[in-house]
């Protein structure tokens, strides 16, 4: 079966712009969570969705937002981009909360110039 699909793979944006990233989980998986990975901060949790509801949110400013659709696909949006938002954004897909497996996509590498 298809894995977790994140689009686009690469993005270059200018400071002040906004960006939308997409994550399509494995078919049948209802839990999607997002992480930001940077060399300085490592992997940090952004938010988690289950059945279209945000269950949990990390310590990020309000410029970071997300949503999940009825087909479990999720999007995250970052408004008013800053240079520090340059990172690899990863999404993880699980069948349900508490699953013994969680699969990640290949990530979207965002560069803010």
Question: Is 64 among the residues that bind another protein (CB under 8 A)?
Answer: no
Closest to 15 measured CA to CA, from 87, 86, 90 = 86
Q: Quick one: which of 21, 25, 36, 48 contacts another protein (CB under 8 A)? A: 48
Q: Quick one: which of 1, 14, 100, 113 contacts another protein (CB under 8 A)? A: 100
Count of CB atoms within 10 A of residue 83's CB?
9
Which residues are near another protein by CB under 8 A? 31, 33, 35, 42-43, 45, 48, 50, 55-56, 58, 88, 90, 92, 94, 97-98, 100-107, 109
């Amino acid at each position: 079966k298809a894995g977790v699909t994140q689009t686009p793979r690469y993005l270059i944006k200018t400071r002040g712009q906004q960006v939308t990233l997409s994550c399509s989980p494995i078919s049948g998986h209802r839990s999607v969570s997002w992480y930001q990975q940077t060399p300085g901060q490592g992997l940090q949790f952004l938010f988690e969705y289950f059945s279209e509801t945000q269950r949990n949110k990390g310590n990020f400013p309000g410029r970071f937002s997300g949503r999940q659709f009825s087909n479990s696909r999720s999007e995250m949006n970052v408004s008013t981009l800053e240079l520090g938002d340059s990172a690899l954004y990863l999404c993880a897909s699980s069948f349900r909360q508490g699953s013994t497996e969680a699969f990640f996509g290949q990530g979207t590498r965002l560069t803010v110039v």
